[in-house]
Amino acid sequence: MRQRASPRADTAVIASHSQRWCLLAALLAIGIAPAWAQQPVSSAVAGPQASPAPTTGSQPVSPAPAAEQASEIQRRAADDAQLPAYLRNNAVASDLATYDPWERYNRRIFRFNKRVDTALAKPLATAYVRDVPEPVRDGVSRFYTNLRQPVIAVNLFLQGHPASACKSLGRLAVNTTIGIGGIFDPATRMHIPSYDEDFGQTLGRWGWRRSRYFLLPFFGPGTLRDRFGSVADAPLGPIRYFDPTRLRVAVIGLEVVDVRAGILPLDELGTGIDDDYILVREAWSQRRLHQIDDQDVDIGDDR
Amino acid sequence: MVLVALIGLVLASFAPRADAFGQAPGQLVQVNSEHVLHALEQRRAEFQSHPEALHRFVQGEFSQSFDRVYAARLVLGDSNHATSDADVQAFADALVDHLMARYGSSLLKIHPGLHVKVLSEMPLRAGSIVKVLTMVDRTNGARISVDYLFHQHAGQWQVFDVIVEGISFVQTFRSVFADVLRSKSLPAITEDLREGKILVGSTAIDHPLGGH
C-alpha cells in the first residue's frame, strides 16, 4: 500500500478524500498532453495491444526449452502488470473499459449530481474558502482525516498488514491527543506513516476486482463493490456516534463543504468536454484500481 | 492550488537538457524536473508579468521529448487504423496546442518547496519500454505518484504516456475519444479542437461529490 499523506472522509458522508485525488489525478493526467512534441510518425503504432518497437532485440520466437518458455511467459506477464491496459498483450475488452451495464441509469444520476453541485455544494464551498482563513480550513481537513483512521486501520488489518494497522492507530492516538482532536498533525512530524484504505479496496484485494459502475444520488463515482464497502465501513466512522443529531449533521455537512473546497482550485481549469461522464468514469476507475493494487509498492512494513 | 500547479510541473518535466542527451530516462525526469523548478524560481516575476514568456518557456520545454504522434496513435486506438499519418499528425498538434494553451499557465501556481524524487526505473518489454516511477512531495507532506513511460525514438528516450495516481493520460483519452469518434471523423474532431469546441481535460472538476 502506498502511503498517503492526508487521507480522510467518513464513509457515511457524501464525499471522500480519495475523490479529491481522483479528480486531481484525472486532471494531471490529462494536463500532460501538451508535452506531446513534433516527431516523425515512422515508429508509431497503435491498437489495444500495440507496443513500441523494441530497441534491444525482439521477443524470442524460436523453439525453446519448456522452462525457458515458462520463464518468458512469466516475464511477459510481469511486464504486462506494470503497463496500462492498452499496452498489455493479454488485455481483453474488460481491461480497456469500465464495466458499466447500467450506463443509462448512471448517466441520469451523474447529471443530477452535477446539478446538486452547481446549486448547493459549490456555492457553499466557495463561500467557505472566501470567509474562512486557510489555517483554519487546514485544521478542519486534518480533523476529518484523523476521524478516518479507525476505518483505515481495520482495513489494513483485513488486508494482512497488522503493523501498518498499528501505525494507523498510532496516528489516531497521537493526533487525537497531542494534535487536539486531530486539528493538528504531530504524527506526520513524528514520521508515522499515513495510509488510505477502505473496505471497497479490501474487497478488491480479496478478489472482487471487476465490479459494475454504480452511481448514487448525492454520491460520487463508485462501483457496486465500493457501495457495499462503504456500508461495511460505516460503523467505524466516529461521526455517526456524535450526539445530538444536530451536531452530527453539522459535522457531516462541514465535511462535505471541506471536501468540495479542496477541489475548488480545479474548477478554474474550465468547463467540460462534450461528454464528461466517460472522462470521470474512466479516470475514477483507473484511480480505484491503482488504490487496490498499490500495496505492492510499499508492503515491506508487514514482512 | 498546489494540485493545479502540478499540472504545469508535469507538463514541463519532459524537456531534454542539452547536457542530458544520452541519459537514462530516470535521470532525464530528475534533471528536467529540477531544471523547471529552478527556472520557475528564478523567473517567476517575469512569467507573471509576461504570460507570453511563460508560454514560450513551456513550449520550449515540451518541444522535443514527448512523442506526440505515437501517443496520439495510442489514444486513437482501433480508430487509428483507418486514419492517415497526416490526419494523426494534425490531431496530435491540435490537441497539444489546445492543452498547452489551457494548462501552461498552471506552472505559476507551483509553490516553492515542491520536490520530485525518482524512485526507480523499470525496463519492460526487453528494454523497449522504460517505466520511471516518481513521487512528488508537497510541502505539507502529501505525496503524489507520477509514473512516466518512455520508449526510444530516433535514438532518444521519449515519453509517450504519464500515469498520475494510477490514471494514464493515454488510457483516459482513449476512452473519451473512442466515444467521440463514433459520431465524428478525426479531421472534424481536430477542427473542433482548433476552434475550441471541444474542451479537453477539465471535466472531472464538475463532479465534486466523491465516493467509492
Q: Give the lowest-confidence range in A202-211, A265-274, B158-167.
A: A265-274
Whether B125 sits inside 8 A of A33 (CB atoms) is: no
| Average pLDDT over every residue of A37-41 | 26
Whether A37 sits inside 8 A of B72 (CB atoms) is: no
B36-45: Cβ within 8 A, 24+ apart: B36/B9, B36/B12, B36/B61, B36/B107, B37/B9, B37/B110, B37/B114, B37/B116, B40/B107, B40/B108, B40/B110, B41/B112, B44/B108
Confidence of residue A31 (pLDDT cuts 50, 70, 90): very low
Taking the complete model, does pTM exceed 0.80, yes or no? no
Give the pLDDT confidence score for residue B7 in this predicted structure. Answer: 52
Whether B96 sits inside 8 A of A37 (CB atoms) is: yes
Confidence of residue B12 (pLDDT cuts 50, 70, 90): low
Give the pLDDT confidence score for residue B22 in this predicted structure. Answer: 63
Whether A283 sits inside 8 A of B167 (CB atoms) is: yes
The more confidently predicted of residues A210 and A10 is A210
The CA dihedral of A201, A203, A206, A208, to the nearest 10 degrees, is -110
Confidence of residue A223 (pLDDT cuts 50, 70, 90): very high
| pLDDT tens figures, A235-247 | 998 888 888 888 8
In this complex, the residue of A5, A121, A289 whose CB is nearest that of residue B209 is: A121
Q: What is the ipTM of this complex?
A: 0.75
DSSP string, A56-125: S-PPP-S---HHHHHHHHHHHHHHHHTS-GGG-TT--HHHHS---TTHHHHHHHHHHHHHHIIIIIHHHH
Name the grid cell of B209: 461529490
Give the three-state DSSP class for B152: strand
Optimal mutation site among B6, B29, B165, B170, interface A, most CBs of chain A within 10 A: B165
Closest residue of chain A to B84, computed from CA coordinates? A41
Indicate whether B63 pLDDT > 70. Answer: no
| pLDDT tens figures, A94-149 | 566 789 999 999 999 999 998 998 899 999 999 999 999 988 998 999 999 999 99
B33 contacts in A (CB within 8 Å)? none
Whether A290 sits inside 8 A of B85 (CB atoms) is: no
Whether A286 sits inside 8 A of B62 (CB atoms) is: no
Confidence of residue B208 (pLDDT cuts 50, 70, 90): very low
Indicate whether B34 pLDDT > 90. Answer: no
Distance from C-alpha of A14 to C-alpha of A219, rounded to nearest angstrom: 5
Distance from C-alpha of B37 to C-alpha of B66, rounded to nearest angstrom: 19
Do the beta carbons of residue B9 and residue B37 sit within 8 Å? yes
Measured in degrees and rounded to the nearest 5, phi and psi for residue B34 equal -65, -40
DSSP string, A73-84: HHHHHHHHHTS-
Give the three-state DSSP class for B174: helix
| pLDDT tens figures, A181-209 | 999 999 988 989 889 899 999 999 999 98
Distance from C-alpha of A48 to C-alpha of A263, rounded to nearest angstrom: 33
Distances (CA, A) of A27 to A172, A182, A239, B140: 31, 29, 31, 21
B152 contacts in A (CB within 8 Å)? 52, 55
Give the pLDDT confidence score for residue B173 in this predicted structure. Answer: 83
Q: Report percent pLDDT > 90 for chain A.
A: 39
Q: Tell the residue number behind the cell numbers 467509492, with chain if given.
A: B212
Confidence of residue A228 (pLDDT cuts 50, 70, 90): very high
Taking all residues of chain A, what is their mean pLDDT, rounded to a whole number? 76
Confidence of residue A1 (pLDDT cuts 50, 70, 90): low
Return residues 111-150 of B near A (CB < 8 Å): 122, 124-129, 131, 138, 140-146, 149
Name the grid cell of B62: 515540451
Whether B174 sits inside 8 A of A86 (CB atoms) is: yes
Give the pLDDT confidence score for residue A217 in this predicted structure. Answer: 94
Distance from C-alpha of A199 to C-alpha of A225, rounded to nearest angstrom: 9
Distance from C-alpha of A137 to C-alpha of A65, rounded to nearest angstrom: 63
Length of chain A: 303
Q: In what order do the strands lie in the sheet with B167-168?
A: B115-124, B129-137, B143-153, B156-164, B167-168
Give the pLDDT confidence score for residue A199 in this predicted structure. Answer: 96
Give the pLDDT confidence score for residue B3 in this predicted structure. Answer: 42
In this complex, the residue of B102, B154, B208 whose CB is nearest that of residue A270 is: B102
Give the pLDDT confidence score for residue A38 in this predicted structure. Answer: 25
Indicate whether A227 pLDDT > 50. Answer: yes
DSSP state of B67: B
Whether A31 sits inside 8 A of B103 (CB atoms) is: yes
Give the three-state DSSP class for A158: helix
B7 contacts in A (CB within 8 Å)? 27-28, 31-32, 269
